[in-house]
Structure 1
């Protein structure tokens, strides 16, 4: 977009006609925007951003002309920010120092027609916009903003897997108690939600942890919003969790099953090459399926003196700081990675790997029991190391687990790890 630069005194300005779309919210036919510089090269860099900010402010004013109370309030907050102010309620604006109040009044006057104050800007800058009640659904929208740092460094798929359980939990509680303002949630509401979950656990054969996860996510969303907005509500969220009786575990595949079933000639031929190599690669590495799927060419070091993979936070976060590690490649896992030296782009940042593999194994009679899943290959690798009496520090380092004591030294060398893994490799 071409922006005309005109010098007023020693300062360059943008002079541009107001687009027809904004005539209802902008009284001027032309706008002059100072770029606060006399350098044309600097002005050319700054101009698009300043013009874009003005467009956003006009859009915010348009959005404020709506019957939706929440949209109107959010538009007022955005417009106040575009005018250089933090939105405050009118009583808080009145309590500001006189100079700050006058600055806000002048900002309203600057955008008004003679004798016709700009009521939209006034509501935004002077605090006249009424904040709608913070319902449960609105609390979730605010939570995404307040918890943004928790998504930092995560891949798109990790963000999806982080957000979805929270979306599900909020959807569930709204289905039970309605989309109430969070300050009106009662203890009876939360007991009703807990009872709904208890019936669901009983009827569907779920673990108590299924309900506890929803309770934790609901509590996290509501408590975060309550704290960040200083609402001081006494939310009735305590002492609701279910006891963890007989939690379900994912059993390991036996070594005999791996050798005779999974690695039988042609047994995994029906899987696509990438999925097959991730599965076989897991047998002698014990990596989490998602860790294997995310490996890139630079992390698969087949030409090293000791072939190995490096689990690193490249393009994604790791489950914990301990998850960063190197694992030597031996046996069938080394052979698998030789077929996929560039990694697994088909499953990178994708949620489909486990579903694809688990479905294939079940349909082809390759699950050792009904309770087995792909993750059982990780548990199998650990069981084989336990049987071989491998040192706990080495086991935890290979698995990316924390150690129940302080870690001293650098740990085992790659050569040492290779000797250990060869003891249990298939």
Structure 2
């Protein structure tokens, strides 16, 4: 009866006897294995047989995983194999410092016919893989995940790409070395690469500094969250930046006679045209307009308005959440697009599409102008109309340079003020 279950007595102890499955023949030299169940009771042996076989399978799977040239896979397999045998993986130095009884326990746990993988797992001789710069980036996405909460797919892509670019640029200069091996010379070489590009007119100091910031963010986050305790050589590397360039505003006359001229925007796809017109009298950021929906476009009320909310995306700041009354051509545009602009809701191509069209049609007031210039123009028109600073900042989603008191102006009052400057 015992043999039918694979349980059989050898001397005073019951064993589980099983043929080695074909899957494990390459990493197990025996055709048949005998696993001691450490009991002289047949009923106890039968109750332990399934668990013993499961552990054997786990050990073989761990060996299979370790049968690779990939250092991380080998190390992970050694950790798993040690766990299956009931131990935590320790490197050989720590194993050697164990109390005698703990060391003897590990030695005795090595099966009589153990191969190199099992000995290495229990004795800690599998080297821990080096945490390279590229591996640090892989870790960073998980360690910094709180920074991604609430981001849309497009926002997540735009958040990731600069960090991927920074790491790629650094690896091209210093190699994909372990982060503990990054030297001050590596960082200075990286800075020198950017200096040469700045001197050659390829990039601005601002672009170089962003790369340094993103690289530092990845390395410092991994160092902190993985408790590596490294003294990273990241200080005093930034470049002095020149005057910040801002997009100039469109003049009111240019908007009225060029952008809003009959037929001027007919060649734009409807969603892009609607978003541009919606921006004229609201000054929203293009990404804010693109994510508006039927729930945040509110026309059937006393004061038609849009509500900028963190719906499927992360707002630029806490002040960006706001309502903006609709007036003039912007109100007319939203009457046509009550459901929003699905074409651009999860796309980053809006500004590029609009700017290409405006440039091709000669509708940019100067080469420095862009779609975003409509936001600056709207702010200038509010300023020229003498609208209070608190109201301007509330409409624009900007921080107020003093404490906010009260709820601010009513939506109807703001609508009446903006109606006077609407185009």
Deviation at 1:188, TM superposition (A): 2.2
d(CA) in 2 for partners of 1:381 and 1:418?
Answer: 14
Paired position in structure 2 for 1:255: 252
The alignment status of 1:189 with 2:186, answered yes or no, reads yes
The alignment status of 1:312 with 2:314, answered yes or no, reads no
Paired position in structure 2 for 1:275: 272
Deviation at 1:186, TM superposition (A): 2.1
Paired position in structure 2 for 1:147: 144
Deviation at 1:377, TM superposition (A): 0.8
d(CA) in 2 for partners of 1:78 and 1:349?
Answer: 41
Of 238-247 and 222-231, more deviation after overlay is shown by 222-231
The alignment status of 1:169 with 2:166, answered yes or no, reads yes
Structure 2 length as normaliser, TM-score? Answer: 0.79
- Which secondary structure does the structure 2 equivalent of 1:297 belong to? coil
Matching residue within 379, 383, 387 for 1:386: 383
Return closer, same or farther for 1:67/1:385 CA change in 2, 3 Å cut-off. Answer: same
For structure 2, the residue ranges without an aligned partner over 5 or more in a row are 1-19, 33-56
Paired position in structure 2 for 1:227: 224
Paired position in structure 2 for 1:360: 357
d(CA) in 1 for partners of 2:58 and 2:329?
Answer: 57
The alignment status of 1:72 with 2:36, answered yes or no, reads no
The alignment status of 1:325 with 2:327, answered yes or no, reads no
CA contact (8 A) 1:252 1:379 kept: yes
1:27-426 equivalence runs, <5 A: 62-73=64-75, 89=91, 115-117=112-114, 129-426=126-423
- Which secondary structure does the structure 1 equivalent of 2:342 belong to? coil
CA contact (8 A) 1:169 1:218 kept: yes
Paired position in structure 2 for 1:49: none
Return closer, same or farther for 1:126/1:142 CA change in 2, 3 Å cut-off. Answer: farther
Deviation at 1:129, TM superposition (A): 4.1
Return closer, same or farther for 1:77/1:338 CA change in 2, 3 Å cut-off. Answer: farther
Note the alpha carbon deviations across 1:30-69, whole angstroms, 9 max, x for none: xxxxxxxxxxxxxxxxxxxxxxxxx999877644321011
d(CA) in 2 for partners of 1:81 and 1:390?
Answer: 69
Note the alpha carbon deviations across 1:345-383, whole angstroms, 9 max, x for none: 111121111111111111111111111111111111111
Structure 1 length as normaliser, TM-score? Answer: 0.78
Note the alpha carbon deviations across 1:166-213, whole angstroms, 9 max, x for none: 000111111122222222222222122112112212323533111110
d(CA) in 2 for partners of 1:286 and 1:416?
Answer: 18
Note the alpha carbon deviations across 1:307-331, whole angstroms, 9 max, x for none: 1111111111111111111111111
CA contact (8 A) 1:287 1:399 kept: yes
Return closer, same or farther for 1:179/1:327 CA change in 2, 3 Å cut-off. Answer: same
- Which secondary structure does the structure 1 equivalent of 2:344 belong to? coil
- Which secondary structure does the structure 1 equivalent of 2:136 belong to? helix
- Which secondary structure does the structure 1 equivalent of 2:420 belong to? helix
- Which secondary structure does the structure 1 equivalent of 2:306 belong to? strand
- RMSD of Structure 2 on Structure 1 (CA): 3.5
CA contact (8 A) 1:207 1:247 kept: no
Deviation at 1:122, TM superposition (A): 7.7
Return closer, same or farther for 1:297/1:62 CA change in 2, 3 Å cut-off. Answer: farther
